[in-house]
Amino acid sequence: MAEYRAELRKLAGQVMEVMDENLGLPKGYIKNAFNSGGEEAFFGTKVNHYPPCPKPEMVNGLRAHTDAGGVIMLFQDDVVGGLEVLKDGEWFDVQPMRNSIVINTGDQVEVLSNGRYKSAWHRVQAKPDGNRMSIASFYNPSMKATIAPAPQLVENGGVGVEAFGYPEFVFGDYMSVYAEQKFDPKEPRFQAVRAM
């Protein structure tokens, strides 16, 4: 597990560098933002188990939500599905693929990119057959990191400026709001942290 986590941490760094390049930001911009505040970014891993459910229509495996953090890497079960993402108001299955990792962006990447990258709404549906396992790894800002839209993206008229106007905040404050509102729409979370 230690080797797996070390390799995924490297992968997260590579993904952030590609996002920097796509956004026209200096190499290392997102990673440096996550490591601000005098602390290192947090890298965590959790194992999820979804047992078979005899009446899946009556329960959710995991309710719809966006992830609070930065870059999320999911090694999902290659046999039992259940992960779904929301696109254009419709839920789509994320088909299990052998030896693959699903990469998701969280709320902090949405803010740093000024809305060019969106944190994806996703959920896990209960299934009647088979045990579903997944390993989720999160590269998140340090709790003291200040998160705000990259100035270069505000100057260039990013999506968030006209449509929403993302606030500047400390990640730990955002987590306090998120803990209470995880399954609610994300825009009120941004508004609540703006008021702190």
Annotated catalytic residues are: 46, 65, 67, 122
CA 123/CA 115 separation, integer angstroms: 21
Task: Report the distance separating Cα 172 and Cα 21, nearest Å.
Answer: 27
User: What is the DSSP secondary-structure string of 156-185?
Assistant: TT-HHHHHT-PPPEEHHHHHHHHHHHTTS-
Backbone angles phi, psi at 155, to 5 degrees: -65, -30
Q: What does DSSP assign to residue 51? A: -
Contact status, residue 93 vs residue 7, Cβ threshold 8 Å: no
Helices (H) and strands (E) counted in the chain, each on its own, are 7, 10
Distance CA(40)–CA(57), nearest Å, equals 42
Residue 85's SS3 state is strand
Nearest to 170 by CA among 142, 141, 144, 190: 144
